[in-house]
Structure 1
């Protein structure tokens, strides 16, 4: 497994208070595949907190993706929703957990919040 993936999972608990603000809670299982091998990660998600474990636990949702593509997600070179829509990753179970979890992925390089772009346009027009 790549170093970027290890760093991503290690960073989740510290980033959770800023990312997980809603009332959603549950367990998300991530299955990262490489050939015939699958690595399992379990995330216990609650408002403002996330616990990362390799221990197999019952899950409310499962996100399955290749380790290679997951590394693209954690480095911002790909988008999680686009990968699911292209059928390069699958998701089953409580979709809200996936929607909350994808907030941890960085934006692709060069992507800006459209609200900030609009504010800049207004300032230039004034």
Structure 2
């Protein structure tokens, strides 16, 4: 059976993340409730590079939710902002790290914002005499 959360985190350390703005650096711990236990994922973000481990160390921000919802978030079927407003996820600490995390998710729009802006600049540049 596919595990969207594991697939998502296993892909993150591979290569550059061009849609992640340079202004984000820090750590985010993701605590996922599964039955009667908690799974921990630890992200370190620095210069568009993302490292992932399974540590439960202190972090600049801690995101907490259940694994079923997180599977939907990392699959692009649910939006982080909406889940946060509904109280389905909680975040403690530096909210900028939640924003950084949103840039890493598929289908959020944030992951494509920079690409669309750059494409628009290129097209505008080509249209000038």
Q: TM over 0.5, yes or no?
A: yes
**What is residue 85 of structure 1 aligned with on the other side?**
85
Cα distance in 2 for residues equivalent to 1:16 and 1:90: 28
Post-superposition, which runs of at least 4 consecutive aligned residues in structure 1 deviate over 3 A? none
Q: Tell me if structure 1 keeps the 8 A contact 2:41–2:52.
A: yes
Q: How does 1:29-108 map to 2 (within 5 A)?
A: 29-107=29-107
Question: How many residues are paired up?
Answer: 113
Q: What is the alpha-carbon root mean square deviation over aligned residues? A: 2.4
Is contact 2:30–2:41 with CA below 8 Å preserved after alignment? yes
CA deviations 1:6-56 (Å, max 9, x no partner) are 110011122543132322211100001123211011001112101100123
Match of 2:123 in 1: none
In the alignment, structure 1 segments of 5+ residues that lack a partner are 120-126
Residue 5 of structure 1 corresponds to 5
Does the 8 Å CA contact 2:20/2:104 hold for their aligned counterparts?
A: no
Q: Tell me, in whole angstroms, the C-alpha distance in 1 between the residues paired with 2:16 and 2:67.
A: 22
Distance 2:15 2:78 in 1: 20
**Partners of 1:59 and 1:101 in 2: CA distance:** 13
**What TM-score, normalized by structure 1, do the two folds share?**
0.79
The SS at the match of 2:106 is coil
Segment drifting more, 99-108 vs 30-39:
99-108
